Amino acid sequence: DLNDPNRSSRRVAYYYDHDVGNYHFFLGHPMKPHRIRMTHNLVSNYGLCDEVEEDAPEAGGEGSRALNDVASGMDAEMKDAVQWEKRIAHGPRGKHMQVFRPRRANKTDMTRFHTDEYIDLLEAVTPETAEAMTGGGIRCLTGEDCPAFEGVFEFCTISAGGSLGAAEKLNSGSADIAVNWAGGLHHAKKSEASGFCYVNDIVLGILELLRIHPRVLYIDVDVHHGDGVEEAFYTTDRVMTASFHRFGEFFPGTGDVRDTGIKRGKGYAVNVPLRDGITDATYHTIFKPVIKEIIDRFQPGAIVLQMGADSLSGDKLGGFNMTLNGHAECASFVRSFNIPVLMVGGGGYTIKNVAKAWTKETAIMCGVDLPEDLPYNRYMEYFGPRYKLEVLPTNVDDHNPPEYVEALRKAIFENLKQIPH
């Protein structure tokens, strides 16, 4: 179909640090950075990027410049254009995107949002000193949700560095879509870790995009409310936040449909509180019209898309009943508006499904349709017995009757009337 907006190609920049899978929250903790390594291995083995071995050397070879995100000067820019042309000519398999190892975020980057005191503490804390060091207005780092695990600060430099690098790449105009699966940590507050999140890479990424773009849209499909991002921009009309989440006796407890922002930001926070068991069909009767209306009215220059995979069926913590196709449909719908997108990860606790979702969504952004049979990959045993690129629905009840979802949609459209066209 020549008129299909998903048909045309986009320049995709993918950010991955080979060390990210080596960080561990404590034993038994549901958050597993290893899922990002699994995703990358599946992405590689599907042929979406050139390095199949995840520990491929970064020096030498054609891809070496791309792996070091240090483009500077005219020469680099020219080479960049040539690289893209090669990639586009190369299709249909092979190099569908540029792979970058992101720079690490430093304390100056992090304190664009967080307080100096909090970041100093985060850098200094160790599993042994956590109890003694926390307190004095800086909460969490001792509880079970946000433990001071070995290397917690380094982990944050990777996660935040990826989203910052990705945002800088979009700002430079040399990519249309940038991906950082190590990001999406939407609960972190100015001076507080919360819900497995320590540094809010999303807020940092949005602040970077705001240097260039008058308006930035944030969309959050994680099953949890994107409270940290919402709070950071609750009083501004330059960032619109839209979170779809499970609501009612569920973490973090915020995100009522009536919470829409304050001061200049009134009307610029959108909350879609859903009940458990939601299916693809129900989800998209609200996701698509709400996102379309927001984009039509707000006219964002860039979109940050948080693709938390805990909204998939069978997630250990989630409770929704979305399939892989339904989840991925969020990504293709957002892509179809042809606005620069920074796509990040987030939650996702049944890790084989996280790897499938984020692989499929990477491919969608590249405009590539992947075969259902999984290619052989390092983590093959996780994907048995079917070895398919699928997440199937279960027979749980959908506690979102059509009348409920329709009333929500109406209330949200009513709120959106405050936004000038």
Q: Does 180 bind Ca ion (CB under 5 A)?
A: no
Check: CB of residue 237 under 8 Å from CB of residue 197: no
Sheet holding 12-15: strands in order across?
Answer: 98-100, 12-15, 177-180, 341-344, 302-306, 216-220, 239-246, 269-274
The residue within the footprint of Ca ion, chosen from 41, 174, 243, 377 (CB under 5 A), is 243
Residue at token pair 């520990």: 55
Least distance (Å) from Ca ion to the CB of residue 306?
7
* Nearer residue to ligand TV7 within complex by CB, 197 or 219: 197
Annotated catalytic residue within 96, 186, 187, 213: 187
The residue within the footprint of ligand TV7, chosen from 176, 208, 280, 310 (CB under 6 A), is 310
Least distance (Å) from ligand TV7 to the CB of residue 110?
18
Least distance (Å) from Ca ion to the CB of residue 202?
11
Contact stretch for ligand TV7 (CB under 6 A) within 114-122, 143-151, 272-280, 407-415? 143-151
The residue within the footprint of ligand TV7, chosen from 228, 314, 347, 367 (CB under 6 A), is 347
Residue 327 bears catalytic tag? no
CA atoms within 13 A on the CB side of 380: 8
Tokens of 125: 């804390």
CA pair distance 244, 225, nearest whole angstrom: 7
CA pair distance 379, 381, nearest whole angstrom: 6
Q: Does 310 bind Zn ion (CB under 5 A)?
A: yes
Check: CB of residue 33 under 8 Å from CB of residue 155: yes
Least distance (Å) from Ca ion to the CB of residue 341?
17
Instruction: Give the distance between the most distant pair of CA atoms in the chain.
Output: 63
Contact stretch for Ca ion (CB under 5 A) within 98-106, 241-249, 281-289, 333-341? 241-249
Check: CB of residue 65 under 8 Å from CB of residue 86: no
CA 172, 178, 182, 183 torsion: positive or negative? positive
Q: What are phi and psi of 202, to 5 degrees?
A: -70, -45
Residues 210-249 that bind ligand TV7 (CB under 6 A): 222, 224
Q: Does 29 bind ligand TV7 (CB under 6 A)?
A: yes
CA pair distance 183, 15, nearest whole angstrom: 10
Q: What are phi and psi of 222, to 5 degrees?
A: -55, 150
Tokens of 203: 């807020």
Site string for Ca ion, 207-236 (x = CB under 5 A): -------------x-x---x----------
Site string for Zn ion, 335-364 (x = CB under 5 A): ------------x-----------------
Site string for Zn ion, 40-79 (x = CB under 5 A): ----------------------------------------
* Nearer residue to ligand TV7 within complex by CB, 144 or 397: 144
Residue-by-residue DSSP string for 63-79: THHHHB----HHHHHHH
Enumerate binding residues for Zn ion (CB under 5 A).
222, 224, 308, 310, 347
Enumerate binding residues for ligand TV7 (CB under 6 A).
28-30, 143-145, 185-187, 195-197, 222, 224, 251, 308, 310, 317, 346-347
> Which residues participate in catalysis according to the annotation?
187
